[in-house]
A and B are shown apart, each in its own frame.
Chain A
Amino acid sequence: GQNIDQPTEMTATEGAIVQINCTYQTSGFNGLFWYQQHAGEAPTFLSYNVLDGLEEKGRFSSFLSRSKGYSYLLLKELQMKDSASYLCAASDSNYQLIWGAGTKLIIKP
């Protein structure tokens, strides 16, 4: 079957770095997405990886290893506004997104 695993909750300190991991199993693979979702709001796109390696975009970076079925989202210089849920989603052979349950990130001052 198809499955996405990511931690339920993580806590980090303002100004620090945090890495949110995601493992996936899908029927076919057409890329890995990361979305940010604040409480009561719709998800917003953060990153997309389809090739192995690291994609850097400002304070956020995303990594993919296709052979391991593994991705992570790296957030640097954490700010209080980064407190949100981070959703990992893999695109399968039909380009349908398989969603993880999300990782709630709590930032402490």
Chain B
Amino acid sequence: GAVVSQHPSWVICKSGTSVKIECRSLDFQATTMFWYRQFPKQSLMLMATSNEGSKATYEQGVEKDKFLINHASLTLSTLTVTSAHPEDSSFYICSARDLVEGLNSYNEQFFGPGTRLTVL
């Protein structure tokens, strides 16, 4: 159980275009989803936290107008990178958490497989 999928697994796009990444919890309801970015040889950097039905909370330095996050249902969150530029090329990883007792009594985050974005 507790599987999280991401789509696409990799994407190459031209500078100035927008890219949408989907994150789905397949067998549980994710009340909270997290979006991370990871540059080569660096650790995970939390970009934003989103709770179903409410606006995402962005970390300092992350532009909310550039990285649009929607968490419209308990199983789906999307991250849209608008007007992408080469410096946005990175590995984007989502994770999901459910606070229902029994499934996730210690608030573990379940990670998706990641999306590698390359902006030309």
Contact = CB atoms under 8 A, between A and B. Distances in A.
A41 B107 contact: no
Of A42, A50, A97, chain B has the most CB atoms within 10 Å of the CB of A42
Interface string A2-21: 00000000000000000000
23 contacts: A31-B106, A40-B91, A40-B114, A40-B116, A42-B93, A42-B113, A42-B114, A43-B93, A44-B111, A48-B106, A48-B108, A50-B106, A87-B43, A87-B44, A91-B107, A95-B97, A96-B46, A96-B49, A97-B46, A99-B43, A99-B44, A100-B43, A101-B42
What is the size category of the interface that chain B forms with chain A?
10 to 19
Of A87, A97, A100, A101, chain B has the most CB atoms within 10 Å of the CB of A97
A65 interface: no
Nearest to A45: B108
Interface of A: 30-31, 33, 40-45, 48, 50, 87, 91, 95-97, 99-102
B35 to A, nearest CB: 12
A7 B109 CA distance: 23
Interface in B70-120: 91, 93, 97, 106-114, 116
A79 to B, nearest CB: 22
B113 A41 contact: yes
Of B46, B112, B116, chain A has the most CB atoms within 10 Å of the CB of B46
B6 to A, nearest CB: 8
A42 B107 contact: no
A43 to B, nearest CB: 5
A5 to B, nearest CB: 12
A91 B42 CA distance: 20
B41 to A, nearest CB: 8
Contacts of B93: 42-43
A95 to B, nearest CB: 5
A92 B83 CA distance: 34
Contacts of A31: 106-107
